[in-house]
Structure 1
Amino acid sequence: MYVIYGYRGLKNSPLMSGKLDRSNLANAYVSGMKEDLKFRGNQLTQINTVFTCGYVIGQIPSNIALYYIKPRIFFPLMMIVWGALTMITATAHSPQAIMAIRFFQALAESSTFVGTHYILGSWYTERELGKRSGIFTASGLAGTMIGGFIQTGLHQSLEGKGGLAGWRWLFIVDGLMTVPVAIYGFLLFPNTPSTTTAPYLFAAERELAASRVPAHAERAPFNVSFIKRVLGSWEWYGFVILWVIAGETESFSSNALLALYMKAHNTARHTVYTVSQLNNYPTGVPAIGIVSTLFWATLTDFLSGKRYLVGYWIALTGIMTSAMILAPQSSTATTFAAYYWAGSVYACQATFFAWANDAMRHSEDSLRAVVLASMNAFSGAFNAWWSIVFYSADMAPAFTRGMWAMVATSIALGFWTAGLTWMCVRRGRMGTVDARVIDEREVEVNKDRY
């Protein structure tokens, strides 16, 4: 589940939810699910890989579906499906059952991340998009963060109630939380500026929204000519490869390595972490991610869309945190510090998708939709095997192979960021908008409201 915040001038149109989909499995795993379902070896990693496969398959079809099904209908419908499958997870009695459920859950979830970035890019200008993308991404991290606290509370208050383990209650509560958010979406999601029928928007505001973004002729997708335009565009190659690389720099956080490190640490060094500690300590990672995401998203807006700066920060972070963990005789405190610092790489989600939206602002919408979806799809395709090879659960607590992979990935990200920046400058895609003109329009439109 995710959050989508409405158009800047529309103070009555936020669409809200939190993301708990990825973190709940890791939280359940360290809270008794591993023992109850008799997980062996890297079965947790295999489940995550199956989820990733479903997520990859659904990316592009989901974004194209927005041309045929209104986002106000499509997004909430997928949330209902996702919530139902989440609650069904509570009935699982084997890792294989969870694997099957997570595949179909991923198909439903695949609609939301890139679909939301497509919608945000349809409403906001270059000087606004970073912050809104940042709020969206931060809301997902907030869901990841509170997931640990929710599991702690459920373990303490509902463990054994109704004959169910606390980790099963996590999936039930998580699924139920999607229902009010989906209803909210059905009623109030604004669609795109050209198709919105939102009751809280005046006619003049709808006209203003459409005038704020470049107008261009739209050509129908799903034909040979369209495929050639996609594969012949430098944006497709530039931003897809950017996110393939950048997506793997999130591996420390997206694979819940700190939680797995702590779980293995209990055995490897006879350190005793309680269930509450196993759930609560890793919440510091998304907490750092929230701060970093909002900081960099706001800063790059202030700096007229210089999203590439985040690429250099993440490259530095990946190299330094890996070195801290790889260092001989690295202490537990140093390892914790490295994993927390690594949470700051989440900033690349908001800024890189905002960068892609900025670069394709004058392109046809269908091309922008496919490029955004392809970024996440190809990144997921790599992550499907990358996590098994480098961050398998049975490699805990050291993950030595993964640390070296992170160093190489971070170096590659630095070079690719530099090359893509040069390409954007060469093609004139780093320009800014006339903020003064837009502000004057908004004041004129909104004066009657107040």
Structure 2
Amino acid sequence: MAAKEISQSEHVDDIQQKVPDLPLSEADLAGERKLVRKLDMTLMPIIWVMYLFNYLDRNNIAQAKLDSFEADLGLRGDNFNTAVSILNVGYMLMQLPSNMLITRVRPSLYIPFWICLWSCISAATAGVHNYTGLILVRLFLGVAEAPFFPGAFYLLSCWYTKKELAFRTAILYSGLVLATAFSGLLAAGIFSGLDGTRGIKGWRWLFIIEGAGSFLAGLCGFFLLPDLPGAETGSTSWLFTAEERRIAKDRMIRDQVSNQVPENSVWYGLRTAVSDFRVWIFAIILCSNHTAYGFNNFYPTIVKGLGLGNTTITLVCTAPPYLLSTIIALISAYSSDHLGDRGYHIGGLMALAAAGFIISIASPPTNHAVLYFASFLYITGTFSANSMVYTWAAASVSQTPEKRACATAIVNLMGQLGNIWSPYFFRPQDSPRYVLAMVLMIAFSGLSIVGCAVMKMVLRRDNKKLVERFAGTAITPNLHVL
């Protein structure tokens, strides 16, 4: 279906017809607050648990590396780097098709299906016996995991307004950070308690146990995950009353009042997303951020090089920086929502990360305390910044749900390039300090900061145009968050 060409006045008239009566009554305001509280107690927890398992299943290869994983599979040279990188190739292949499809299917069925599938694939890693098998499993794991995060984020963006989304995305992202923190603790327990049980190595138990946990989370999702506002399927039918569904639908229409268009074709959404240069700026920012936290799969090795203790102690010591970054991410997101800013917050956090990388390079290799402290800075900076990029992008390019889904998929897809090439920055001969990788992380942190500055200028200009467009009308436009 071809996109309709509409004049500015026709566009404003169309919006006025869609927007519920304003101002809101006290009853509607109270109902909206009750709805948000209910979402926070139902939708957020199930999505959070799913995302925690998503990252546990993706990140456990970093812990397996400290066991006999490489020796048992005969990995040599940069084989491990390729195994880390190849997952993101599969992720990229499935990302955009999945997000085009999710606007036409029930999220309560679609998302849990992929969770159960990736759980089985991840657990199958325990049965791998050579490098070829590992590469195939990791490739298909990337394909199966690709629909989850952009799909979950799309679902959240359909229930939460722009002003509410950053803090909720940070909460969601805390699942990733806590998964990274507790994966080390979980691996330490499995390696010390189950290694050799029933003739199975500790790293194989790691994949089996975490795969089983995420499969259970997927099964729960079929019953607990809601569909879109206004729907009467999934948990939406019994969790929300008819009045709550009306409020949910109406408030999302009001939230998009400044930039709605009447065309809702999936292909129109894809075309407008691809042609919107702001999508590509966000893609550069996210790609830079992902590249800058390419250390993630090598962090246990970096900590092991500090000589803090045996493998168990090393895995335990990987947790504190991620726990701190969870707290900082939530504080940053709350501050971002409260102050109505994204660019300065993201840029500031990436500057903090760059400072950590610089300290890692400048400090003597024997100064273990300073090197460990530096890791707190670059972990906190990169992880805390990433959640806000998705929120910023989704709120800024959301003329239709279809465009929002395609745009966030493109941003996330291009961001995966950072996850594909960054593992090769960590050359085996540079272990455990990885000086070359740290220099490149500094460069990409700087590129992210520049991208944030450019985007703030672009959105400031767009806000000026929005004010001019709706001047003299009864509509107060929702301006872009800078």
Q: TM (normalized to structure 1)?
A: 0.87
Matched, 1:314 2:353: no
Which runs of structure 2 are paired with 1:186-265 in the superposition (5 Å)? Answer: 186-197=222-233, 198=236, 199-214=238-253, 216=260, 217-222=262-267, 226-252=269-295, 254=296, 256-263=297-304, 265=305
Contact 2:353–2:379, Cα closer than 8 Å, also in 1: no
Matched, 1:392 2:427: yes
Larger relative helix fraction: 2
- The structural deviation recorded for 1:196 is 4.9
Q: For the residues of structure 2 that align with 1:195 and 1:120, how far apart are their CA atoms?
A: 15
Q: Which moved more, 1:30-39 or 1:338-347?
A: 30-39
Q: Are residues 259 and 398 of structure 1, via their aligned partners in 2, closer, same or farther at CA, if it must alter by over 3 Å?
A: same
- The structural deviation recorded for 1:226 is 4.9
Which residue in 1 is equivalent to 2:31?
none
Q: For the residues of structure 1 that align with 2:465 and 2:118, how far apart are their CA atoms?
A: 38
- The structural deviation recorded for 1:153 is 1.1
- The structural deviation recorded for 1:431 is 9.7
Contact 1:292–1:346, Cα closer than 8 Å, also in 2: no
- The structural deviation recorded for 1:227 is 4.6
The amino acid across from 2:134 in the alignment is: I
Q: For the residues of structure 1 that align with 2:165 and 2:466, how far apart are their CA atoms?
A: 14
Contact 1:73–1:186, Cα closer than 8 Å, also in 2: yes
Contact 1:133–1:350, Cα closer than 8 Å, also in 2: yes
- The structural deviation recorded for 1:26 is 0.8
Which runs of structure 2 are paired with 1:298-447 in the superposition (5 Å)? Answer: 298-304=334-340, 306-327=341-362, 329-330=364-365, 331-344=367-380, 345-361=382-398, 363-388=399-424, 390-428=425-463
Q: Are residues 293 and 218 of structure 1, via their aligned partners in 2, closer, same or farther at CA, if it must alter by over 3 Å?
A: farther
Which residue in 1 is equivalent to 2:145?
109
Which runs of structure 2 are paired with 1:120-199 in the superposition (5 Å)? Answer: 120-197=156-233, 198=236, 199=238
2:318 aligned counterpart, secondary structure = helix
Which runs of structure 2 are paired with 1:14-93 in the superposition (5 Å)? Answer: 14-15=45-46, 16-17=49-50, 18-19=52-53, 20-93=56-129
Q: Are residues 227 and 74 of structure 1, via their aligned partners in 2, closer, same or farther at CA, if it must alter by over 3 Å?
A: closer
Q: Are residues 391 and 430 of structure 1, via their aligned partners in 2, closer, same or farther at CA, if it must alter by over 3 Å?
A: farther
Q: For the residues of structure 1 that align with 2:314 and 2:94, how far apart are their CA atoms?
A: 32
Structure label with greater radius of gyration: 2
Contact 2:426–2:434, Cα closer than 8 Å, also in 1: yes
CA deviations 1:278-326 (Å, max 9, x no partner) are 322112232122112111111111113x111222223312321121111
Contact 2:92–2:146, Cα closer than 8 Å, also in 1: yes
Give the share of equivalent positions with the same residue, in percent.
23
- The structural deviation recorded for 1:32 is 2.0
1:156 aligned counterpart, secondary structure = helix
Contact 2:74–2:130, Cα closer than 8 Å, also in 1: yes
The amino acid across from 2:87 in the alignment is: F
CA deviations 1:388-426 (Å, max 9, x no partner) are 1x2234431121211211222122222211110111111
Q: Are residues 431 and 102 of structure 1, via their aligned partners in 2, closer, same or farther at CA, if it must alter by over 3 Å?
A: farther
Contact 1:22–1:144, Cα closer than 8 Å, also in 2: no
Contact 1:289–1:343, Cα closer than 8 Å, also in 2: yes
The amino acid across from 2:277 in the alignment is: W
Contact 2:62–2:298, Cα closer than 8 Å, also in 1: no
CA deviations 1:169-196 (Å, max 9, x no partner) are 1111001102321122101211221435
- The structural deviation recorded for 1:328 is 5.1
Contact 1:218–1:365, Cα closer than 8 Å, also in 2: no
The amino acid across from 1:419 in the alignment is: V
RMSD: 2.2
Which residue in 2 is equivalent to 1:284?
320
Q: Which moved more, 1:203-212 or 1:241-250?
A: 241-250
Which residue in 2 is equivalent to 1:447?
none
- The structural deviation recorded for 1:232 is 2.2
Contact 2:196–2:202, Cα closer than 8 Å, also in 1: yes
- The structural deviation recorded for 1:272 is 7.1
Q: Are residues 179 and 408 of structure 1, via their aligned partners in 2, closer, same or farther at CA, if it must alter by over 3 Å?
A: closer
Q: For the residues of structure 1 that align with 2:157 and 2:308, how far apart are their CA atoms?
A: 47
CA deviations 1:85-141 (Å, max 9, x no partner) are 111111111232111101101111111111111111111112211111011100121
Contact 2:167–2:334, Cα closer than 8 Å, also in 1: yes
Q: For the residues of structure 2 that align with 1:226 and 1:300, how far apart are their CA atoms?
A: 28
1:398 aligned counterpart, secondary structure = coil
Q: Are residues 393 and 138 of structure 1, via their aligned partners in 2, closer, same or farther at CA, if it must alter by over 3 Å?
A: farther
Q: Are residues 380 and 430 of structure 1, via their aligned partners in 2, closer, same or farther at CA, if it must alter by over 3 Å?
A: farther
CA deviations 1:216-271 (Å, max 9, x no partner) are 4342123xx5554223213322211221222222223x3x33312244x38xxxx4
Contact 1:120–1:129, Cα closer than 8 Å, also in 2: yes
Q: Which runs of 5+ in 1 are unaligned?
A: 1-5, 433-450
Contact 2:355–2:377, Cα closer than 8 Å, also in 1: no
Number of aligned pairs? Answer: 415
